[in-house]
Structure 1
Amino acid sequence: MSRSLRRGALAATAIVISIASLSACGAGNNAQTLEIKPDNAAVTVDDVKVQNALVITQPDPGAIGPAVVSATVFNNGLTRQTIDSITLPGALGTVKLKAAEGDGPIVVPANGSVVIGGKGNASAVIEGGLREARNGDAQRVVFKLSKTGDVGLSAFVVPASSYFKDFGPSEVPVPPATPPTATATSTPTGTATPTGEATHAAGH
């Protein structure tokens, strides 16, 4: 390759790298800048946005135990809201909500957000697990907020492994220990004297 062609190739490479760097800086961590939709479910209703919603089941397939709902709820309004309930239409599980601190409701502050799921965050535990859906299915989840009302979307059902391990159920069932096998103890059997022989001997 001639010297001039080499110079041109290097210059083109530098331009591409510069554009990529500028695009990354301009986009920051906001996927909306590049209009890239997250892999997980998201929906916006009025001032409320629910993003990265998932239903996370036990890590082992077939294990019976609680599942959880994980999501980030944003409130772009001027007044705070509370999450009054989370329901799973079509499923039998009841979702128990718990704030990150204290016994009060899960609060979504004005112009703020709350994370549901994961250590130190609010939690939404599906008591009894989710037996109607399998991993990979989509489950309808409805968040009921104090002012906005129902905000529903379909969330993927995934096991608490890999990327979702730290956001899954805190209560994982432990398989029961195998009981030791009982060892049969033989009891010595006495030798009985036949009745006829005993009588004959007594007669002599």
Structure 2
Amino acid sequence: MSRSLRRGALAATAIVFSVAALSACGAGNDAQTLEVRPDNAAVTVDDVKIQNALVITQPLPGTKGPAAVSATVFNNGSLPQTIDAIRLPGTAAVVKLKAAEGAGPIVVPAHGSVVIGGEGNASALIENGSEAARDGDAQKVVFKLSKTGDVGLSAFVVPSKSYFKEYGPTVVPGLPAEAASASPTASTSPSGEASHGAETPASGEPTTAGH
């Protein structure tokens, strides 16, 4: 290929990339225009951005117990803010907030962030979670911040499995205890063998069940 032809090919390639870039800019950078779907809910209001918001329920369907709100809250302002409350509109859910240190409010530092959910992080426990959210739904969640006020978004409701297990509710009803309570008639003899239907009198002498 001659030098002039190579220059022409390079120029054509540059024009193609320029047109593609301009088309993308003209279409906008929002996820819907670019056909990019974020994995989890996110919203920005003034200096506050909330992303990866989820409501995480018990791992097994139908299990009664608390659920948890998980999210990362960013503060791009020059002053710290506190998360004063988290609400789930349309439900009777009560969300109990706890800072990572265990005392005081959850503080989002200036030009910083705070993670809610997961070991060593702040937590937001939904005490009556089994009544408030159902797996597969999109639940409205409102974060009330001390300066920005209410910031709401729709969060996916997912069970505490796979990626979400480490960020879900810390209180999970124990299946072994439930299984034990479901069969109170079984007993164990001193020899370690299970016996059913046999009774031991107060004198301590064993009786033999009739056949």
Map residues 56-75 of structure 1 onto 2, 5 A cutoff: 56-75=56-75
- The whole-number CA distance in structure 2 between the counterparts of 1:37 and 1:109 is 29
Deviation at 1:102, TM superposition (A): 3.4
Instruction: Give the secondary structure class of the aligned counterpart of 1:131.
Output: helix
Q: Deviations over 1:151-178 (max 9, x none)?
A: 0000000000011010011110013213
* Length, aligned pairs only: 160
Aligned to 1:198: none
Instruction: Give the secondary structure class of the aligned counterpart of 2:163.
Output: helix
Q: Is the 8 A contact 2:58 2:65 kept in 1?
A: yes
Q: Deviations over 1:104-158 (max 9, x none)?
A: 1000000000000000000000012142432110000000000000000000000
What is the root-mean-square deviation of aligned Cα atoms in Å? 2.5
Structure 1 residues not aligned, in runs of 5+:
1-31, 189-204
Aligned to 1:112: 112
- Name the TM-score, length of structure 2 as normaliser: 0.69
Structure 2 residues not aligned, in runs of 5+:
1-29, 187-195, 200-206
- Name the TM-score, length of structure 1 as normaliser: 0.72
Q: Is the 8 A contact 1:40 1:156 kept in 2?
A: yes
Correspondence 1:141 to 2:138: no
| Aligned partner (choices 171, 179, 183) of residue 184 of structure 2 | 179
From the CA coordinates, give the structure whose radius of gyration is larger: 1
Q: Is the 8 A contact 2:64 2:130 kept in 1?
A: no
- The whole-number CA distance in structure 1 between the counterparts of 2:133 and 2:102 is 32
Aligned to 2:52: 52
- The whole-number CA distance in structure 2 between the counterparts of 1:187 and 1:78 is 80
Q: Deviations over 1:58-83 (max 9, x none)?
A: 00111111100000000000000000
Deviation at 1:38, TM superposition (A): 2.1
Q: Percent identity?
A: 71
- The whole-number CA distance in structure 2 between the counterparts of 1:138 and 1:126 is 16
